[in-house]
Structure 1
Amino acid sequence: MIGKRSLYILKLILNNPDITTHEIQQKTNLSKRQVNYSIDNINQWLTDNHYNAIEKISGGKLILLDNVQDIISDLLKGNIDYVFDEEERQKIIFFYLYLHNQNISLFHLVDLLEVSRGTVTDDLKKLNKKLSSFKLSIKYSRENGYQLIGEETDIFYAMINFIVEVISYEEALYIIQLVLDKQASHLFYDFRKQLNQELSKDQLIISDNNIHIITYTFVFYLLRKSMISLPNKEKFWFKLNENSEFKLSKKILQAKNIFDLNDVEVLTALILSYSTKTVIKDSKEQAMIDQIIASVLERLNKTYAIAFKDRERIFGQLRMHIRPAINRMYFNFPMVNPLKDQILTKYGHIYTIIEDLFQQLNIDVIKSISEDDLAYLTIHFATFIKDTKDTDNYKLTGVIVCPSGIGVSVLLRNELTKLFPQVNFLKNVSVGQLNEVIKEIDVVFSTVLIETDKPLFIVNPVMNNIDKANLLKHFNKRFANMMMKETININSLMMIIEKYSDVKDKKGLMRELSYLLSAPTNQILIRKEQPMLSEITNNKLIQLKVEAKDWKEAIQKSAEVMKEEGKITDDYIRAMINNTESNGPYIVITKHVALPHARPEDGVIETAIGITTLKEPVVFGHELHDPVKYVFCLSTVDNNSHLKALAELVDLLDDVHFYELLEKAEEPQEILNYIKGKEG
């Protein structure tokens, strides 16, 4: 039997030839003893399945002696005696009760999970507690056994929430397989195949994960034979039966002799919520979505000094995400973003700004947008903010396989394009589409294990610098010979080196030089971090209890010290005032707070923020947030360098103690110390 931790370590070994025990410890934060225990566990599974055990060689390297693709094939087929953890067992119990709604005893669950009666009893108690948030409970009676108690619509919503959570696990296959019998499994695979075919005909785009969400949810719904009521159906922005997804759902179900209107509406709602489609030009739907996007971009520009040039591309990409996100909000369908924590770690400064922006927008339909959807939107904006450059110096053709949504795959493509300028990346594909392009490519990058004869690199969807360094190392090792043959720079360097020195290992030196020179984007790994707020302000830029007769003088006095400190020019000060006169008090971003700024080309010398408190508040003309008492004057040299500091400021403006300090501070250093204290 193999548990989640051991399975993760096995995947690390499969994807990282010559990985060491120490490297696994670093990547997993496990002790040497824990890693060795997991390797013993893996070796037991390997030998049970007629493979050789992992071999340890000098330097602690771990070597798989068998064909890696054979092992991957077994894992993907579910040929593994997997040990479920507590969370997974609870979901299995729920799914089992959902599909078998009578005569389920404790013995059935013990036999299903292969754990003790005490463990199952404990799992039932914890699951019951979770289900209370859906207004559900699990009850036992001698006559009917364990049953889910509650309204069918609430039971359906608990089911879809658990399915969405499970699909985000790599171990989803093992969980679902356990509760579906052969007949149900056949129904699932048959329905998924037909759905894929019809979606492609209708030009709907859907990720691998989302096709599983739609299919499992609807198959479970059909198997339970329940009647549910979709919320907000009457308030939906257009009638369900007037869109192409309804016609598509009707066609799919009629082919299976299913004619119930409720079933068609449920499938329609699922497709609308978990697929993307080019919005019909000049439609009511496009007008509504474009209004949201335009409001977002305008506020990013005017409030946060973030401007975008390629608006057509941005509108197109955001429509693809916002449309299903709005539909999910209408139908109360969940979205679990398994990358949320990684996104917040890497792009937390952008997330903070996007979250603040959506909270401030007065648009009803997006007021309840989830944190998970905001995290997906964050990676869209991360790709817009980052500049990418194309190159014609391609040596290889590659493809990226990403089961997650569009935003994740676009972000990953941007990162890999920068890391590997020598690779011409084709359009991203799903797992099922890989065979369509397999003859055209030399290398595959994937976020999940897949079967392929091509060189395969498993990548983290949101890579940190260590991930990038390891990926570069393994890529350059795998393609070192090709890179050396085609790189004139290395040969030229070797001629110079050999002229002035005695080279003992020519091939080894060329390999090392190839690793160094074939990744010109190594600068990504050592790029300077965006400055924190305390690094772009100082005591001289902080002014307390300044007198100003009106908003113009408030901006002028706040900006004057920035000019004196060499951060901006007189032209920039004039531009801030002119922009406010032309566009209105958009710079008043929250109660009593103004954030004046202009474009970098208007006279920015250096990224900075000046902090000014006014002795008496002044009117800027903002209907909700006047009068202004605090002026944060911003200058930024580009779209990107100020974002981390700006995210800090957004957090501070939600901190009541910060305002108290602004009021009572006698010295600028007090404010600077508070900012540094918040930064840790």
Structure 2
Amino acid sequence: MLSARQQSILTELLEQRGFVPVDRFQSEYGLSARTVRHDLLQIEDWLAGYDIGIERNRKHGIALIVDEDGREKLERLLRERPDHLDAERRSRWLAKRLLESSKLRTDEVQEELKISKSTLLSDLAEVTRLLGGKDLKLAREGGWIRVLGDERKKRSAYLELLRLEITDENVLRVVLGDREDRMGGTNLWNPWFSPKDAQFLFDIVRMLERKLNVEFTDAGYSALVLHLLMAVERLKNNHRIQMDPELFGEVSGAEEFRVVRQLALPEMERYFQLEVPLEEAGYITQHILGAQKAQDAKAEQSVYVQLAKRIVMEVEQELHRPLQRTEQVVHGLSVHLKPAMYRAKFGLQSANPLLPQLEQENASLLDVTQEVVNRVLKEHGVCFDRDEIGYISLHLSSGLSHAVSAVRKRVAIVCSSGLGSSAILQRRLESMFPVLEIAGRFAYKELKQLPFEQIDAILSTIEIQLPLPVQVIKVSPLLSPEDESSIGRLLGVSPLGRPMEADTLQRVGEIVRIVERHADVRNRNRLLEDLIHLLQGGSVSGHKGLQRLTELLPAGSILTGQTAEGWEEAVRLGSRLLRERGIIGLQYEEKLFQMIGEQKHHFVIGEGIAFPHASPQDGVWGTGFSLVTLAEPVPLGPSGQPVWLLVTLAAADKTSHLTALSTLLDVFGDAAFMEFLRRADDADAVWDRLKAKEGETLDAEN
């Protein structure tokens, strides 16, 4: 027996007539990958009973193996005898059947749904409530049930229910009287809407698409056609609606309004032999603006792309972790934003049927999304309701590999006066630990007034002997390295380190070459490591236990022989490898683009070698490297320096990557290794060679 959700997934597979990406179900239903796999296995077992199979393809997704006879049988099963419906869906299904038919027998309904009489009475009470909001009544007599009320209101109620039950593609097919998509074997639209009229209006919508050079979403198509059908019915009955003058003034200045007025309205008046007022042109314009897809802007400066990037970056900061697949997330979000912003502006937002499930499964992500999105869009005069926020959170959740928490660590600052040194400490904390939230600065005498239930720890510049219900960490106002370590260890957060400038690496390499001309170097790699550590402000001893290059650069973060159309694509290849490991967010990649575009960098550290990196403040959640070689060099930014090797670094602290850097410098100075790297076509072979390089260093030390 399939659940309601599994039936919905199966319906989508049936309608697709091809492969469906599995991750679509994750984002569409807000499910984990594991839950989707479970649902698909249940569906596969159920289908086996009808000799229908499922084909899986790692690249394309999943598809049904079914001939036309099996497809027709499956459509009939899903339409006529659902295996399982929850109470809400069962009530909607029953209301729709009642609106389709003149009347129904109660015993036949019980048999069809496999429910008891008491359950039927409960469902009918819900149907009464649903229809009551449409000025329709439910009548029961002699074992029969039927709906009483105006036919136009029945039609309106049916349209709303239908849009909840089937896809927009099928809505259009039903509107147009497509024989293959008639519900229950009867074209239910013809008594209310002439297929000829619907076809005419459909052609009007297609004409508007061509003239405006836009593309409507499936939902936009169906909503616009249905709006036009309803508008014509209103005008036939001499019922005109007024538009707010200010709103009319705004939409009447749009190019879409001009095209509707000059082309669509005259055609509608000629065909239907009635006058179409300008207010209707205004409402049609509203639907057009809310229905069209955002164009896939090739220019990355598209306002909607930039808004999507801002939303992603701020959500990453709020969640304290990077999103995965950010290109897809930004693209999907930017496409969604344009019509969504118009819908919000014109009051066309609709209910999100997935919202209850989203609230139950990840309310914290919804809260973060709502705060960030409405903050970003405030300057555009737009505020999304919770339903629209739910749709946006689905885009964002597609970039999350597992459940997230938006909870931040909160600390209170205490000093002898609550001023002076505490202000210095706060500024230092905000610089070194931006993931911490400062609950406030307090004097020692205010200790008993602290909101202990709202904070995780106290950072104090003075000794506190009182027993308190939270952790107390004694620190210097300037935060010594020991203080940073204590805060990080006790609160589970990492301090930001100073960025490693590429010209420092160049300088170290030059120093080593000078030394090698005048002396025999026993351990070149150790010399490089000590010099890097010294120039970073540390000592030449006491930095044992640092991570080696092959620990920070796994084989999965190495790409060889890649093709890139420009430096942006080349840099994105390297940053994507770090994002996939959860080390950086979109903000870091954007910062690299900015630095290269504005020539505020020293990334080119050798002939053909680029070393992109930015500050930890730019969205770093770990330390790691990626390595990309290009089949053909690309000019890096406006300076045009050709590069074929990009080693991208993200460092969350000051020291853990220093040993790895020394190995890299050793590699860059090894002509034979660089020639191997230029010709390499196997990531594992590159990693093995790097591992061997580290082994040479260990042998030299021993």
* Max Rg structure: 2
Length-normalised TM-score, structure 2 = 0.41
